[in-house]
Amino acid sequence: MKVVLGVAGGIAAYKACSLLRLLSEAGHDVTVVPTASALNFVGAATWSALSGKPVHTDVWSDITEVPHVRIGQEADLVVVAPATADLLARAATGQADDLLTNVLLTARCPIVMAPAMHTEMYEHPATQANISILSERGVHVVPPASGRLTGRDSGPGRLPEPEQLFAVCERELARTSPTSSVQTTGAPASDGGSTDPDARGGGGLAGRRVVVTAGGTREPLDPVRFLGNRSSGKQGYALARAAAARGAQVTLVTTASLATPPGVQAVEVETALEMQEAVGATAVGADVVVMAAAVADYRPAEVASHKLKKSHGTDDDGVADESAPTVALVRNPDILAGLVAARTDATSPVIVGFAAETGDDSASVLEHGRAKLARKGCDLLVVNEVGVDTTFGKDDTTVHVLRRGSADVVDIGPASKDQVADAVWDLVIPLL
């Protein structure tokens, strides 16, 4: 596919060389469009050698080809990395004073921008306002990472690693692929949620506060052992990553040991009770709460203060003691149902539940999901079939999304968990 790599004039421009190579090695036709300032950091010869194409910064080169219009019109994706404060300001105000800003105006494909600058510049109200404007227009703004900047400075404003940006680009290209992994069955939707891939776009969550839970809770038996489940947390992290890329302020309440996505605040917990407390605190004022975590239904009634030992003794007849302790369980709180019950007015959050189900003699996976939606009362319920080598820990999945008050079933997949996350957010946004 045709990708335009825009490069603005920041020290992080050198990272765009690696991004260019990743895109090219994936088989994409990449055209590099740097700003004049960017060439102070990485020269035109480097871009030409890596892309195999001539590089220009102004609209007057190859004028007969009308590059300021043609490049944007023909692109399947435009990614700007790094996007400096200056470039963000010019893009937000619709300026067209060089080739890159002209391309941004003529492109009708997905646009990804990765801001990179000093913390003070990134946090300035003007920059934040420009990011909000671009996000509201559907630009996929990738939050910067936090870390070492130019000189001795450290903080938010660091360009994410090329591999992370490449993953964002691949997801955007997959979202606009002619082959959609999203299908709707059942009665026509009545709530305005579109499943047409051409009608879905990046952004849509600018300025929104989002809470996502991820991973499987661990309920301790003693200082060593716990009751748990096979959830890896990958789907929850994909949802958090996609929400941040769409401009949301994201809090991730997690039990997993995965790398925190750029721009996401992680709150680490372990047990269901800890997750309940963290969700209760972070959900105040949130616009959306997504309960993707696999929360244990039960926990041990008592937790031993020491490691439980197995017996090595014998009875009076010399027979080895093969007894095992009996573990009494108590129910954990239903966090999802509690969130729904606590809603009091129209400003309460949109609530999305997850149902990890297995079919049995009494009902199918989908039938169990419908019953759970009726009990919980959340706005959306994402149902998936789980088990050994199914969903948990995998990078691909298939889910069925049920909507409160609707007979529709939105089938997503087989698809990557990042694609599923984007499709779920496309269903959430019309409810906001």
Q: What is the pLDDT of residues 395-421, one digit of tens each?
A: 788 899 999 988 889 999 788 888 899
Dihedral Cα 44, 45, 49, 54, nearest 10 deg: 50
If we measure between CA atoms, which residue out of 153, 129, 155, 149 comes closest to residue 141? Answer: 129
Strand partners, 33: 6
Q: Could you give the CA distance from residue 82 to residue 7 in angstroms, rounded to a whole number?
A: 6
3-state secondary structure of 35: coil
Question: For position 217, what pLDDT does the model report?
Answer: 96
Q: Could you give the CA distance from residue 36 to residue 98 in angstroms, rounded to a whole number?
A: 8
Amino acid present at 222: D
Q: What CATH architecture is 2-175?
A: 3-Layer(aba) Sandwich (3.40)
Question: For position 186, what pLDDT does the model report?
Answer: 54
Are β-strands 350-357 and 380-385 bridged in parallel, bridged antiparallel, or unpaired?
A: parallel
Place of tokens 């729904």: 340
Which stretches in the chain have pLDDT values below 70?
A: 63-66, 175-203, 315, 346-347, 387-394
Q: Residue-wise over 135-173: b if at least 16 C-beta within 10 A, else e? A: beebbbbbbbbeeebeeeeeebbbbbebebbbbbbbbbb
List CB contacts of 416: < 8 A, sequence separation 6 or more.
Answer: 171, 174, 238, 395, 396
Question: For position 119, what pLDDT does the model report?
Answer: 92
**How does DSSP classify residue 285?**
T
Question: For position 188, what pLDDT does the model report?
Answer: 39
Question: For position 388, what pLDDT does the model report?
Answer: 54
3-state secondary structure of 376: helix
E-assigned strand segments in 75-133: 77-83, 111-115
Catalytic residue among 40, 102, 130, 229: 229
Amino acid present at 203: G
| Fold equal for 2-175 and 182-305+314-431 | yes
Amino acid present at 284: V
Q: Could you give the CA distance from residue 247 to residue 105 in angstroms, rounded to a whole number?
A: 20
| Residue 370: both structure tokens together | 């419908």
| Residue 195: both structure tokens together | 């499943």
If we measure between CA atoms, which residue out of 382, 368, 362 comes closest to residue 427? Answer: 382
Q: What CATH architecture is 182-305+314-431?
A: 3-Layer(aba) Sandwich (3.40)
Question: For position 234, what pLDDT does the model report?
Answer: 93
Q: Could you give the CA distance from residue 19 to residue 50 in angstroms, rounded to a whole number?
A: 11
Neighbours of 26 (CB within 10 A): 14
Task: Summarize pLDDT for 151-198 with one digit per residue, the tens.
Answer: 778 888 899 899 989 988 988 887 666 545 555 565 433 333 333 333
Cβ burial, residue 83 (10 Å; 0-12/13-18/19+): buried
40: annotated active-site residue: no
What are the extents of the domains in the chain? 2-175, 182-305+314-431
If we measure between CA atoms, which residue out of 82, 221, 238, 111 comes closest to residue 169? Answer: 111
